[in-house]
Amino acid sequence: MRILIAEDDLLLGDGLRSGLRQLGFQVDWVQDGEAAERELRSNEYAAAVLDLGLPRCDGLEVLRRVRQAGTQVPVLVLTARDAVPDRVLGLNVGADDYVVKPVDLHELAARLRALVRRSHGQPQEALTAQDVVLDPAARSVRKGSAEVVLPPREFDVLHALMLSQGRVLSRTQLEQQLYSWGQEVESNAVEVHIHHLRRKLGTGLIQTVRGVGYMIPRNAAT
């Protein structure tokens, strides 16, 4: 899944970007509030990590503006402001979670996965469709009793479709979850990944909606 980090501390921002990438996230990183607002308005992110003390536009103002604009991306506020009134204000403005620095990388990743899962109405950590079970934390997939090993891109496509069961995702929407800045997008990459997933998981799991995109029907869940 693709997330945005808005953090002006260069050491912390670089560490978060590198660490979350190692845990399977696609990460874009901006260092000021104006850039954060621009990216949240113009790109479709699974979630965002937003520092409050950003230059050029405070994180709370960024959050207020994007919520007023109707942007519903889950936002985790990461800040050194640990007073209760600050946390309450952030949540009231539209934050979905609030973490005080310093934060453990694995805790941050778990909180992000939970935010994304809840935003898609998925109550359980493991996602299930037909006899396929996907564990986002372990980045593992099982079909029945057998483990299915997927390359990272195929896993990410399947994860996006299983999160959005019952909703059609276009090729562009899937590409946005697969690639962060600076990564080359091959013209037929999504189609190739879908073909490989069908070969490994069966042809009945992922449906093609001609001219629109791909979906896993909601009634595929068991």
pLDDT of 192 higher than 90: yes
Domains and CATH numbers, the chain: 2-119 (3.40.50.2300), 127-220 (1.10.10.10)
Q: Which residue has the higher pLDDT, 178 or 213?
A: 213
Q: Provide long-range contacts, Cβ within 8 A and 24+ apart, for 189-195.
A: 189/153, 190/157, 190/214, 193/153, 193/154, 193/157, 194/157
Instruction: Quickly state the pLDDT bin for 123 (edges 50, 70, 90).
Output: confident
- Overall average pLDDT of the 88-112 stretch: 88
Residue 201 CB partners (closer than 8 Å, separation 6+): 132, 141, 143, 148, 158
Give the pLDDT of residue 78.
87
Mean of pLDDT over the chain: 91
What is the average pLDDT across 128-136?
95
pLDDT in the model for residue 27: 95
Angle at 103 between CA 97 and CA 106, to 5 degrees: 90
Answer positive or negative: Cα dihedral of 103, 115, 222, 24.
Answer: negative
What pLDDT sits at residue 26? 92
